[in-house]
């Protein structure tokens, strides 16, 4: 589960940066997810420095290892369009608690985002948590480790 933000002012700052449009985009993606096996839809909204948003959905495959998560779908769409600077990620799921990205998605975030980039996690009924890329993956393997 995502690391809870302890500093109240920091948490308020992160939450104030989330735009309703981004939340709506992530939630609307849930209906587009291709999940015939798990029936576990996930939606994402990735925001770029230029202000563009990229919606992502999870896309399952009968060969489960080929399934792609919503977060990575959003990143790969943006990156394929030439985007390299990201400012916020919103992830939504039909879960009682806010959904949390898998390890592969966290590693992709670490590759393309600053450690302090805000990440908003949403569950059912609008329950939200805010964290950062570093909060999700505190000891990321990056180019400096090569």
Q: For the beta carbon of residue 139, count every other beta carbon within 10 angstroms.
A: 8
Q: At what angle do helices 103-112 and 70-80 cross, to 10 degrees?
A: 30
Catalytic: which of 12, 28, 49, 71?
71
* Residue 69 known to bind ligand: yes
For the record, the structure tokens of 77 come out as 């769409």
Rg over alpha carbons for the chain, rounded to the nearest Å, is: 14
- Annotated catalytic residue 81: no
Give me the count of residues in the chain: 146
* Residue 102 known to bind ligand: yes
* Residue 113 known to bind ligand: no
Distance (Å, whole) CA 46 – CA 31: 17
Distance (Å, whole) CA 34 – CA 38: 10
Residues serving a catalytic function are 71
Please give the annotated binding residues, written as ranges. Answer: 69, 102, 105
Please give the annotated binding residues for Zn(2+), written as ranges. Answer: 69, 102, 105
């Amino acid at each position: 589960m995502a690391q809870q933000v302890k500093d109240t002012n920091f948490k308020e700052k992160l939450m104030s940066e989330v735009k309703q449009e981004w939340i709506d985009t992530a939630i609307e993606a849930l209906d587009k997810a291709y999940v015939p096996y798990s029936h576990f839809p996930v939606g994402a909204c990735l925001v770029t420095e230029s202000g563009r948003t990229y919606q992502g959905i999870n896309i399952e495959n009968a060969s489960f290892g080929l399934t792609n998560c919503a977060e990575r779908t959003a990143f790969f769409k943006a990156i394929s369009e030439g985007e390299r600077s990201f400012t916020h990620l919103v992830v939504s799921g039909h879960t009682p608690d806010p959904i949390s990205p898998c390890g592969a998605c966290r590693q992709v975030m670490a590759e393309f985002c600053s450690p302090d980039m805000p990440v908003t996690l949403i569950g059912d009924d609008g329950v939200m948590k805010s964290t950062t890329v570093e909060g999700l993956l505190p000891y990321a393997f990056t180019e400096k480790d090569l």
